[in-house]
């Protein structure tokens, strides 16, 4: 047995994000579904979502977010030795979307893989990456949560298609010696769980080895998201409560000491339920579902990057990230925001909102046509 390694601390060096140009508003569904802007908004909190262009892949979106995160960290692709993509809508069944992303980045020294845990994918991936960095198997990691949910939505099913959007968001994480991190910045405890007996209340029935693609499976819309909404909602409320309590107990921190609660953006009513039970002000729960809908693995890192670019995160702040998703899966993570002296400036030092080229174009351009499968 070799010498025992010291466990490293893991900090977030930078963030990045990308959303497609096309903004799809609630009222646009009215032309082909029995729904309305009021119906969608009251039940979900969503006002609009972004939809990827027909030829725009998950690895393409991931590339934009990754490059932004690397630039902010002052790093190049070859400075990364681990690439992980959380997604359920990967470019191909194999190889992984992380492999495609690695090639597009021009990284040749790292190793890469995907994690599929639906809406819990980012938290599960953050836990995996943190463990690998803590143990010394990598020094710097690029973690991306990215989805093209529009590729697997049934646009004749108003119960599901109005909920989701497309996006990618990235983090650069780095292992640091505890002695160099006197403030204790970085990733803390995790609380994770799953229940496979409830897999069929939210899933994609066809396309895997148990039900390969056939003419019949395509005809009956078997390759699209299927959801039992009420069952998902009830389980989500219960598990989101559980994961917040669980990670705070493991970390030994009171809810009042948390500066930001960053939830998976699935439904604003779920987030409100957690907040009301905890009797905490709405200002400490970050919400952006009204602009993006549910972007599955991308929701939490998308929130983080917005907070960074808006200058609302500062060193020493405590964050709780928490989620729930298909599987059923759930999880949470504790994060003390900040970067030790000697590394790149903390992302919170960005003085003004950094709006990417694609967002500027979207803000000033007329709505482009979008293809939906009906």
Does residue 328 have a cis peptide bond before it, meaning omega lies within 30 degrees of 0? yes
Residue that the structure tokens 């000697």 belong to:
342
Backbone Cα Rg of the chain: 20
The one catalytic residue in 119, 161, 206, 309 is 119
Segments in the chain forming alpha helices (H): 37-44, 58-73, 97-105, 121-134, 158-161, 215-219, 229-251, 268-278, 289-292, 299-309, 357-364
Contact 346, 57 (CB under 8 A): no
Active site residue 50: no
Spatial distance between the Cα atoms of 340 and 174, rounded to a whole number of angstroms:
11
Is the Cβ–Cβ distance between 114 and 84 less than 8 Å?
yes
Nearest C-alpha neighbor of 90 from the set 4, 195, 168, 155: 168
Q: Which of 64, 223, 264, 309 is catalytic?
A: 264
Name the active-site residue from 26, 294, 303, 309: 294
145 phi/psi in degrees, rounded to 5: -105, 120
Q: Is 119 a catalytic residue?
A: yes
Q: Which residues have a catalytic role annotated?
A: 119, 264, 294
């Amino acid at each position: 047995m070799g010498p025992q390694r010291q466990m490293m601390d893991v900090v977030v060096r930078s963030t990045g994000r990308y959303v497609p140009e096309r903004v799809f508003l609630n009222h646009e569904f009215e032309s082909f579904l029995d729904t309305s802007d009021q119906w969608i908004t009251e039940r979900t909190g969503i006002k609009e979502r972004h939809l990827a262009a027909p030829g725009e892949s998950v690895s393409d979106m991931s590339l934009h977010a990754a490059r932004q995160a690397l630039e902010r960290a002052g790093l190049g692709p070859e400075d990364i030795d681990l690439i992980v993509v959380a997604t359920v809508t990967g470019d191909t069944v194999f190889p992984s979307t992380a492999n495609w992303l690695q090639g597009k980045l021009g990284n040749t020294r790292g190793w890469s893989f995907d994690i599929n845990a639906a809406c819990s994918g980012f938290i599960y991936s953050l836990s995996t990456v943190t463990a690998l960095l803590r143990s010394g198997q990598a020094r710097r990691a690029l973690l991306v949560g990215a989805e093209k949910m529009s590729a697997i939505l049934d646009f004749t099913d108003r119960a599901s298609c109005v909920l989701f959007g497309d996006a990618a968001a990235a983090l650069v994480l780095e292992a640091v010696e505890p002695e160099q991190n006197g403030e204790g910045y970085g990733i803390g405890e995790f609380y994770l769980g799953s229940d496979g007996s409830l897999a069929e209340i939210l899933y994609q029935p066809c396309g895997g080895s148990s039900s390969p693609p056939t003419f019949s499976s395509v005809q009956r819309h078997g390759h699209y998201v299927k959801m039992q909404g009420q069952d998902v909602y009830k389980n989500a409320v219960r598990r989101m409560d559980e994961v917040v309590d669980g990670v705070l107990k493991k970390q030994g921190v009171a809810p009042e000491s948390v500066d930001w609660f960053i939830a998976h953006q699935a439904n604003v009513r779920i987030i409100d339920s957690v907040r009301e039970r905890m009797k905490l002000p709405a200002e400490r729960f970050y919400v952006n579902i009204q602009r993006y809908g549910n972007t599955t693995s991308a929701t939490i890192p998308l929130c983080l990057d917005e907070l960074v670019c808006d200058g609302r995160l500062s060193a020493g702040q405590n964050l709780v990230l928490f989620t729930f998703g298909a599987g059923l899966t759930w999880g949470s993570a504790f994060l003390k925001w900040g970067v030790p002296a000697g590394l790149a400036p903390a992302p919170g030092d960005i003085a003004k909102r950094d709006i990417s080229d694609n967002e500027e174009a979207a803000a000033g351009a007329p709505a482009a046509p979008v293809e939906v499968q009906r």
